[in-house]
A and B are shown apart, each in its own frame.
Chain A
Amino acid sequence: MMGALLFLLSTSWRNRLVMRVRRLKQPKYLIGAIVGLLYFLYVCFARFLFSSHSFRYRGGMAGAGDSPENLLFKESVGALILFFIVLLGWVVPHERAALVFTEAEVAFLFPAPVSRKTLIHFKLLKSQFAILFTSLLFTLIFGWSRGGAVWIRALGWWVIFSTLNLHLLAASFARTMLLDRGISNWKRRALVLGIVIVLATGIAIWTWRTVPPPPPVEEITSLSDMKYYAEKVLSSGPLVWLLYPFRVVVRPYLARTATAFLLGLWPPLLFLGLHYLWVARSDVAFEEASVEASRKVAEKVAAIRAGKQHPLSGLKKRKRSPFNLQPTGSPAVAFLWKNLISARSGFTLRFWLLLIWIAVVVGWSAAASARTAGLAAMLGPVVMAFLALSFFMGPQFVRQDFRQELPMADVLKTYPLPAWQVALGELLAPAAILTAVQWLLIALATVTLPQFGPQKLPLDLRLGFAFAGVALAPMLNLVSLVIPNSAVLLFPGWFQTGRDAPQGFEATGQRAVFAVGQLVVLILALIPAAVVFAIVFYALVYVNVLSLSIPLAAIAAALVLAVEAGFGVALVGKLFKRFDVSSETTP
């Protein structure tokens, strides 16, 4: 029986590979694959190609010069991470054990004369494909040049992932058995968390009695200030022993020599063996839950391939309307209303006003209080970085527009509306969401940036900048959103909307091509606005209207961007009108 299942696995893998290679005949996949491969090579090998000090990895998990104490600390940190993953596996899930199969596997294997144990073996074997690939990937990305052989890193990752995989599976079986014996999810959670709380209290008491306290918050200047304290807590006392099983799993990865690796390998292999016996001997009826889980996964995959971003989660929950939609008025507002509902979060005006108020109050008190002024000074640049990122990356992530609605294009086409109104309606929701986020960040930046580097920023100047940001953000977002929406209507096959949407190098490369294209067009669109801003600003400075120079220049620039956005909306409308839904949208 296992022979047939092995045949299924190997032929599926081979056919998938062949299909992807054949697909490279199409230019869109070939270009995507080349760009994706270059990006991947850069990520993996940049430090070899550019071997200057600036590119050398400095924070390796196990550098050649690590002291035994340092190694123990790193081992403890890794063990702590593993502990939290395992803890979540015991606390969070509430459903019965379910091995997720594809719908085809359910249809073929479940009615077939295949034992439960064989199904588990099949599943374990299948998971090994993913584990081996992930181990290689992690070795390339994280563990190539940090002392020790490559094979040690790869096998180290394999030990960690395999143990985790088996443990989480065994935990799901154990949860199911507890449920069958009448121990509810809440009882189990209370028990697990109770044990954790008792242990944590014991560790806290020990730490309080033996380890010198950490420096006060206002004296913290860097993360290294905290390291000494963390090292003491993690690498001495009871936590070392409590984390022992987890440290054992991490240890082979951190080994620097083959001997150390082999010596460190037998305990986790023993662990793996015990876990395997636990899983293989568990007689848990997982089939029913598996059928349900497989159906959900299939729906999720189909929905993602159809271009929906949130296929399952949240859809079971009805969302309140962001505002009351009147039956008459601009139809574009109906799209805004609809897409804000699809955004799933409480995008009500009241919610955002409350958030801005909280941000201002928290930011102001952080900046005003002497104790937390340092914190505010750290927060300011972070907020500014997020603000800048939101303009460049935001339109890639907030996709409640044509990118989401393309599978419904035939329905949209039947509406008695001019195409520009549909386009405007589709662009409004992501623009509104991004603008709300940016206004929040602007409010935070205004109160947390009393100075920028050595330059003091008085309140009136900050308010001037804030006003400029508030005026420019909506128009800038509309212009930015024109680009991905035009692209999805021009090259529907390139976007991840059709069935069998591409994955892997090709998809990564395609996304990279679009991201760069968007950046270029955005910069081009900004040039006229920047020129107008500069002219108005210097004209006002020249006539000595200093206090209003920034806000007025921003208004002028926003008007230029508004005109550009208007042209953009007209363009997207034209493209939507020309968009032939019968054309090939699949790769």
Chain B
Amino acid sequence: MIEVEGLTKLYQEFVAVSELSFGVQPGQVMGLVGPNGAGKTTTLRCLAGIIPPTRGIIRISGHDLGSDAIAAKKELAFFTDEPRLFDYLTVEQHLAFTARIYQVANYQQIAHPLLEELEIADKADKLPGELSRGMKQKLVIACGLLHSPKVIFFDEPLTGLDPMGIRRMKDSILRRARAGAAIVISSHLLHLLEEVCSHVLILKNGRKIIDGTLAEIRQKYSEQLGNANLEEVFFHATGEAGAPPRIS
């Protein structure tokens, strides 16, 4: 599970994230949404241990990311919007390298079904340059899931996927959540988040505007918006001026 208390990230004078607190329990999927520059990616990068927060506490499965980073990182996986792969390693070599880093002794027993599930088992000897974007994404996912993480962060996981890929990604996220993983997804695709997420946190200018279950959030705005969807709630909550009217 994920516990965040008072997370703040400053770049000199600029406040990227301010006093952010929330929690994600095992089995929950939280959607992190907000306009461009709201601080979503910065938040995720802090949660994944890529950049240090200026202030605040982050706990991953009970391990403090600041003081016990190695134990915390063993429990998490972070999937960026752009597949980040080593150009010179094949699919198989990526898995071997990741297994050694995470000390997954029986990785071949895990890797093979994973590659089968992701439909890239026949690409084992291919380099990233020989794979399509969707396949690269799948390879990143295979590497990330090799050590069976209990906490997963996705930054725009549906970018560049075809309809079938999107369907599979959504299924995969839900399956991991049902298996007990705590998941955070950052995305602009609100209608897709609505299908996958149990919780939502809306950020603007680095500050939390609202968080809770989808039902709680809809309930909060029901008086003004009626039976609104997440998109309408988002525009209302963030006060996005000039949001185009819906074409019915």
**Residue A341 is within 8 A (CB to CB) of chain B in the complex:** yes
Known: A414-B73, A416-B74, A582-B51. A327 touches B104 (CB 8 A): yes
Q: Cβ of B93: which chain A residues have Cβ within 8 Å of it?
A: 321, 338, 341
B125 touches A318 (CB 8 A): yes
Q: Does B137 lie at the interface of the complex (its beta carbon under 8 Å from any beta carbon of A)?
A: no
Residue of A311, A327, A342 with highest tally of chain B CB at under 10 A: A327
Decide: A325 and B11 in contact? CB cutoff 8 A: no
Query: Is B45 within 8 A of A327, CB to CB?
Result: no
Interface residue? A52 (CB, 8 A): no
Residues of B115-143 at the interface with A, using a CB-CB cut-off of 8 Å, are 125-127, 129-130
Q: How far is the CB of A174 from chain B (nearest CB, A)?
A: 32
Count of chain A residues with a beta carbon within 8 Å of a chain B beta carbon: 34
A49 at the interface (CB under 8 A from B): no
CA distance A317 to B62 in the complex (A): 44
A-B pairs with CB below 8 Å: how many? 95
Residues in chain B near residue A328, CB distance under 8 A = 100, 103, 105
Q: Is the CB of A342 within 8 A of B86?
A: yes
Query: A interface, by DSSP: helix, strand, loop or mixed?
Result: loop
**Contact A337/B73 with A416-B102, A582-B45 known, Cβ cut-off 8 Å:** no
Once the chains are docked, how many angstroms separate the CA of A314 from the CA of B105?
31
The minimal Cβ–Cβ distance linking A406 to chain B, given in whole angstroms, is: 13
Nearest neighbor of A321 in chain B, beta-carbon distance: B93
Chain B residues within 8 Å of chain A by Cβ, number: 40
Proximity string of chain A (559-587) to chain B, C-beta cutoff 8 Å, 1 when within and 0 when not: 00000000000000000000011100000
Say how far A310's CB is from chain B's closest CB, in angstroms.
Answer: 8
CB–CB B49/A413 < 8 A: yes
Tell me whether B101 is interfacial, beta carbon within 8 Å.
yes
A329 at the interface (CB under 8 A from B): yes
Residues 400-420 of chain A, each 1 if its beta carbon lies under 8 Å from chain B, else 0: 000000001011011111100
Interface string of A430-441 (1 = CB under 8 A from B): 000000000000
Indicate whether B89 reaches chain A with its CB closer than 8 angstroms: yes
Contact A416 B105 (CB under 8 A): no
Chain A residues with CB below 8 A from B51, complex form: 413, 580-582
A316 near B96 with CB under 8 A, answer: no
Q: Which A313-334 residues have C-beta < 8 A from chain B?
A: 314-316, 318-319, 321, 325-329, 331, 333-334
B70 touches A418 (CB 8 A): yes
Distance in angstroms between the alpha carbons of A327 and B90 in the assembled complex: 16
Interchain nearest-CB distance for B93 vs A (Å): 7
> Is the CB of B52 closer than 8 A to any CB of chain A?
yes
- Is the pair A414, B52 in contact by a Cβ cutoff of 8 Å? no
User: Please, which residues of chain A bring their CB within 8 A of the CB of B90?
Assistant: 318
Chain B residues, CB < 8 A from A338: 86, 89, 93, 97
Are the CB atoms of A327 and B99 closer together than 8 Å?
Answer: yes
Q: How would residues 38 to 70 of chain B score, 1 for a CB under 8 Å from any chain A CB and 0 otherwise?
A: 000010010011111000000000000000011
- Shortest C-beta distance, B145 to chain A (Å), equals 14
Asked if A256 is an interface residue, CB under 8 A from chain B, the answer is no
Cα-based distance from A581 to B102 in the complex (angstroms): 22
Known: A410-B50, A416-B73. Contact between A331 and B100, CB under 8 A? yes
Alpha-carbon gap, A319 to B87, bound state (A): 11
* Residues in A neighbouring B72, C-beta threshold 8 A: 416
User: Within the assembled complex, what's the spacing in Å between the Cα atoms of A327 and B102?
Assistant: 8
Complexed CA–CA distance, A318 and B127 (Å)? 7
Cα-based distance from A195 to B26 in the complex (angstroms): 76
| Contact residues, B76-102 vs A (CB, 8 A) | 76, 78, 80, 84, 86-90, 93, 96-97, 99-102
The 9 closest A-B pairs by CB, nearest first: A416-B73, A334-B100, A327-B99, A416-B74, A342-B88, A413-B50, A416-B70, A410-B50, A582-B51
6 A-B interface contacts by CB (under 8 A): A328-B105, A331-B100, A413-B50, A416-B70, A416-B73, A581-B50
